[in-house]
A and B are shown apart, each in its own frame.
Chain A
Amino acid sequence: MLSIKNLHVNVGDKPILKGINLQINPGEIHAIMGPNGSGKSTLAHILSGKAGYDVPGGTVTYQGKDLLEMAPEIRAREGVFLAFQYPVEIPGVSNIYLLKAALNSIRKHNGQPEVDAMDFLTLIKGKVRLLDMDEKFLYRAVNEGFSGGEKKRNEILQMAILEPRLCILDETDSGLDIDALKVVAEGVNSLRSPDRSFVMVTHYQRLLDYIKPDFVHVLAHGQIVKSGGAELALELEEKGYSWVEQAAA
C-alpha cells in the first residue's frame, strides 16, 4: 500500500525527517508515536501533500505510484485521507456541500457519474448516525463553531463517506474527552477492513487503548528509533519517551 524509503524532509535548511523507512501493507494499522518536535506531524503532512517542505532524498510509493509527485487533491482522490489535528473552519461552505464536492471529485476521477442526490442523503445519514452526530451538523458551515470533539468527529465522518484506502490520523486524540474519544475510535474501528490501512500519529498512548495498532513506531529526532507491536506503546506509557531517545542515542 505505502512504502517510504529513506525519506528526508527539510523545512528551509532545517532537516526535520532524517531517513524514514516504513512499509505499510493493506489492512494494517501503524501508530507513529514520539515526543513533541520529533517530526510526527511533518510525516503526516508530507504524505498528504502540504506545501512548505523540501524533500532532498528518499521516495514514497503509494499503490505503485510516486506519491510525492501528486498534487494534494490527486492524492485525496486516489484514496489518501488526512484527518487534521486542527480541522480548518470554513464559514460559508456547508458540511454537506463539501462532502458532495469531495465525493463527486472522487467519482469524476474514477470515471463515474455524480452521485444521485437521494442516494447521497441516504449514505450520509447512515454515517451521521454511526458517529452519533446530529443531522443539523450537515447543514452547518464546515467546522465553524464546532467544539474540539465535534471537529474530530466531523473528520471521521468525512473519512467514512469518502472511503479512503490510506487514512492518516494526525493527533486525533488531542483535545478529546474520553466520551468523544470512544465515539471517534468506534468510527475508526468500523472502517477497518482488509484493504484499508491506517497511520495514526499520536503523542498519547490513550488512543491505542481504543484503536489497537498492529505496529508501533517511535519517532525521535526525525528518525524511527524503535518499532514493535502494540505492547511497545504500553512500554512507552510506563517509561516515557526519554527511554527510547536515550536508547537510540
Chain B
Amino acid sequence: MMTTATASRYTAEYRNIGPALPGKILPWLQQLRAEALVHFSAHGFPSPREEEWRYTNVSAIEKKLFAPVLGFVPHLQTVNAQWLKSYQLEDAWSVVLVDGHFSAEFSILDGLPETVSVMSMADALTKQPELLETFLGRAVNNTEHGFIAFNTAWFTDGLFVHVPARQVLEKPIQVLHVATQADVMSTTRSVIIADEMADVKVIETFAGLDNSYLSAAVIEAFVGANADMALYKMQCESEKAYHFGGTYVKQARDARFTHYNFAFGGLLARSDIHVDLDYASECELNGLYLGIKRQHIDNHTRINHLKPHASSREMYKGVLDDRARGVFQGRVIVAEDAQKTDSQMNNRNLLLSDDAEADTKPQLEIYADDVKCGHGVTVGQLDESSIFYLQSRCIDEETARNMLTFAFANEMVDKVRIKHLHDKVLEQVLMRFPQEGVKKSWL
C-alpha cells in the first residue's frame, strides 16, 4: 500500500504547509481544500489499476517526496532571466510563475483593457473571491483522481483570467511556468472565464532547469455562450521532470473552444483534457507528442457531448523514438440527449525505433441514436512510397526520412496561427529532431 503511505506523508506535512497557502480566509476554499485532502489521504495518486491510468504508472512520483516551495518571491537574482525570457512570448501579456509563485518582476500585464482581469490566482483570491467561489472546482471535481485532489489541496498560485462579455482580446495571454529548483513541487490552479461572446487566447508554457521536480497544474476554463477560446499548451519540462497537467473546460451553448497540446518534455508527463459541450458548441483538440530517450508521455482526452448539435474534432499525433512511450486515450461520450452530434477523433503514431512504443485507445460511448461519430488510429513507420518519391526528387534516403518525420509533426505545428508561438513550437520540434534534413532557412 505504497499509495496511501505516500499520501499520509504528504498529509502529515500539510499541517505545516496549509496555513501558508493562499485563500486561508475564504471558508469555501478551506472547505474545498479540506475535502481534497481527505480524498487524497484515502486514495493517493492514481494507480494503473484504474482504467484511465492503465498505461501510466506514477509510482516514480510516489517514491519521491517533493517539497512545496513556500513564501518564495522569485526575482532577477535567483532566476536565470535570460533563460526564462527565451520562453516568454513577444506581443503577449504574461503571468510568470516561478516554482509555483507569481513573479511580478517577470510578468507583463500593462496595457490590458480595464474591464479584463489577468492576475495571479493568489491575487484573485483576494480581489475576486466571489467570482472564484462560483467557478473554482466547478469544471473538475476533487474526486476525479488523485492529482486533482492533490492540486486542490496544495496549489500555491496560478493564473486568473476574466474576460467580460463581448470583449475581444487582441493579444494572447501567456502563463509561463518555470521550475528552477530540484526536488520541489510546483502546484498551480488556474481559472479562465470568458463571458458571452468574448474572445480570448491563452498559452500555457512549462519549462524547467535540468532538475527532477514535479509540476502539477490544473486549469479550469469556462467558455460562455457564443464565446471563443483557444488554449495552447507548450510543455517543455526538463528531461528529469514529472508533469501532470489537467485542462477542464465547460462550454456554454454555441461556444467555440480549441486546444493545442504540444507535449515535448518531462520524463513522465501526463495531460488530461476534458471538455463538456453544451448545445451547438464546437471544440477542436489538437495534440502533438514527441518522445525520445526514455520519456513517457500520456495524453488523456474526454469530450462529453451533453446536448444536441455540438461538434468535436480531435487530432493527436505522436512521434516516438529510442525507448520512448506515448499514450493516447481518447474518450468521446455522447449523451442520450445529444442528437445530431458530429464527432471525429484521430490518433496517428510514428514509431522511429524498434524499442519505442505507442499505446492508443480511442473510445466512443454513444447513447444517442442520430449522430455522426468516427475515429481512426494508426501506429506505423514512415511510408516507403513517400520516401521513394522524395528520393526521386534528388533527396537522399536519410534526409527523406528526417524530412517526413518533421513533416508529420509539422502538420500540427502549422495549425498554430499565433506567429511568435508558432516559431517557438517549431524551434522545440527542430531541437528534438535535429538531424540534418530540415533546413530552417528553407521553411
A residues with CB within 8 A of B: 48-51, 71-73, 75-77, 81-82, 84, 87-88, 90-94, 97-98, 100-103, 105-106, 109, 141, 158, 162
**CB nearest to A83 among chain B residues:** B392
Given contacts A73-B391, A90-B386, A90-B389, contact A101 B403 (CB under 8 A): yes
Which of A49, A76, A91 makes the CB contact (< 8 A) with B411?
A: A91
How near does chain A come to B398, taking the closest CB pair, in angstroms?
10
B428 within 8 A of A: no
Q: A92-B409, A162-B394 are in contact. List 6 more A-B contacts (CB 8 A).
A: A50-B388, A71-B396, A90-B407, A101-B393, A101-B395, A162-B393
Pair B386/A102 contact, Cβ less than 8 Å: no
Which of A48, A50, A91 makes the CB contact (< 8 A) with B407?
A: A91
Pair A92/B392 contact, Cβ less than 8 Å: no
Which residues of chain B come closer than 8 Å to A101, judged between CB atoms? 393-395, 399, 403, 439, 442
Fill in one digit per residue for B402-443: 1 if any A CB lies within 8 Å of its CB, else 0.
011011111100100000000000000000000000010011
**CB nearest to A75 among chain B residues:** B392
**CB nearest to A103 among chain B residues:** B394
B390 within 8 A of A: yes
Pair B411/A92 contact, Cβ less than 8 Å: yes
Pair A97/B443 contact, Cβ less than 8 Å: yes
Report the Cα distance A87→B392, complex, angstroms: 11
**CB nearest to B317 among chain A residues:** A92
A-B contact pairs, 9 of them (CB 8 A): A71-B396, A72-B391, A93-B407, A98-B393, A101-B395, A101-B403, A101-B442, A109-B394, A162-B394
Pair B389/A71 contact, Cβ less than 8 Å: no
What total count of A-B pairs have CB within 8 Å? 80
Report the Cα distance A48→B411, complex, angstroms: 29
Ranked 9 nearest A-B pairs via Cβ: A92-B407, A105-B394, A72-B391, A88-B389, A92-B411, A76-B394, A92-B410, A102-B393, A93-B407
Pair B396/A73 contact, Cβ less than 8 Å: yes
How near does chain A come to B287, taking the closest CB pair, in angstroms?
15
Pair A73/B395 contact, Cβ less than 8 Å: yes
Report the Cα distance A186→B409, complex, angstroms: 37
Which residues of chain A come closer than 8 Å to B442, judged between CB atoms? 97, 100-101
B385 within 8 A of A: yes
Which residues of chain B come closer than 8 Å to A100, judged between CB atoms? 442
Report the Cα distance A50→B384, complex, angstroms: 10
Which residues of chain B come closer than 8 Å to A94, judged between CB atoms? 443
Pair B386/A92 contact, Cβ less than 8 Å: no
